[in-house]
Structure 1
Amino acid sequence: MTHLNGKRVAILATNGFEDSELSEPLSAVREHGAEAEVVSTNTGTIRGENGHEAVVARATSDARASDYDALVLPGGVGNGDRIRMDEHAVAFVRGFFEQHKPVGAICHGGWILADADVLRGRTVTSYPSLRTDLRNAGATWVDEEVVVDQGLVTSRTPDDLPAFNAKLVEEIAEGKHTGQTA
């Protein structure tokens, strides 16, 4: 079993996240020994599309990529749309790429990657409706269960969570990626 002991993982989300795309990666990294916490544009508790609640540990205005070893971006249309409008969240995401740290994005979670301007020259996947946005941001978009590009792990939908979680844990265990840049 891959061990993530001593690793800290941020999960960036706000109200309207896709429940399983937050809860399942959170469980996966914790099961492998990582400490994980929710970072949000909101404080207190946030609620998913289907009612799952998550306690926010830190606001985006107080979050720094240097405090974490990896980042997870769950989907949800409302979540993805609101997160990308927060300048602190965008800077937070960009920081992981500047520091060559693993990032996982599933479904609509990939939207913020376009705003963080970290997709140029990368191969990614996402929920199909984001295809044009991600291509316009400089990515090559493919329709695959999970794609890994220099520490960036992307998947399409909740159906892809088993493969997404496995690759996410693998990339976090590997650590920094010299080719990963903002």
Structure 2
Amino acid sequence: MEKVCVHFAEGFEEIEAITIVDILRRAEIDVKMVSITKSKIVTGAHKIKITTDLLFEEVNYDEVSMIILPGGMPGSKNLKEHVGLNEKIKEFYKKGKKLGAICAAPMVYGGLGILKGEKATSYPGFEVYLDGATIVNEEVVTSNKIITSQGPGTAIKFALKIVSDLKGEKLANSIKEGMIVK
């Protein structure tokens, strides 16, 4: 079974983070909400508090098949500044494991140099942080093992693309239909 970790930093974008977790759980993917703070309770950009499943230090990343970063500000900046998470992202990239980021969060991957030669998208205005990427103005972009997306309004499509990649297009379409996503 695929195991996915969605990382929460203070100031995360609530719609993106919860939409991703919700849809992946509908697909029966083992998804864990991971706090990169010292507390399992993390406050989003719009002051919504979420209780995560684990602290960063509690995760066994050898068992994880994908790292996902929701956007938001200052959430994306806080993700970018977390040394341990950045080391895990670089390790995942070197091993060819899947990575996902939405909104401003692709800037984390850009700052680590892992978007060089890849296609990527982000929240408008954050493209300047996608160092070396070929910028694509699409809602969801897949390039090798990296999936990026533009923002809160594209969160459902982003999450469905992750489901499609991990468990197949048939299941993703079934969830899409059940949620009345056009």
TM-score (norm 1): 0.84
- The residue that corresponds to 1:177 in the other structure is none
Cα deviation digits, residues 62-118 of structure 1 (max 9, x gap): 545322111211000200001111110111222221222222211011121123321
Answering whether residue 33 of structure 2 is matched by residue 38 of structure 1, we say: yes
Match of 1:146 in 2: 140
Alignment partner of 1:77 is 2:61: no
**1:18 equivalent in structure 2:** 13
C-alpha separation between the residues in 2 aligned to 1:115 and 1:64? 24
Q: What is the DSSP-based 3-state SS (H/G/I as helix, E as strand, rest coil) of the residue aligned with 2:126?
A: helix
Give matches, 1:93-132, under 5 Å: 93-132=89-128
CA distance, structure 2, for counterparts of residue 160 and residue 38 of structure 1? 20
Contact (CA 8 Å) 2:111, 2:129: kept in 1 or not? no
Say whether the 8 Å CA contact 2:40–2:55 is kept in structure 1.
no
Decide whether the 8 Å contact of 2:76 with 2:104 is kept in 1.
yes
Q: CA deviation at 1:15?
A: 1.1
Which runs of 5 or more structure 2 residues have no equivalent in the other structure? 169-182
Q: How far does residue 50 in structure 1 lie from its aligned partner after superposition?
A: 2.1
Matched to 2:48, the amino acid is H
Q: Distance in 2 between matches of 1:156 and 1:66?
A: 29
In structure 1, the gaps of 5 or more residues are 1-5, 175-182
Query: Equivalent residue for 1:179?
Result: none
Residue 26 of structure 1: CA displacement? 0.3
Identify the residue that residue 178 of structure 2 maps to in structure 1.
none
The whole-number CA distance in structure 1 between the counterparts of 2:52 and 2:91 is 20
Aligned residue-pair number:
167
CA contact (8 A) 1:94 1:117 kept: no
Identity of aligned residues (%): 24
Aligned CA-pair RMSD: 1.6
Which of 148, 162, 167 aligns to 2:161? It is 167
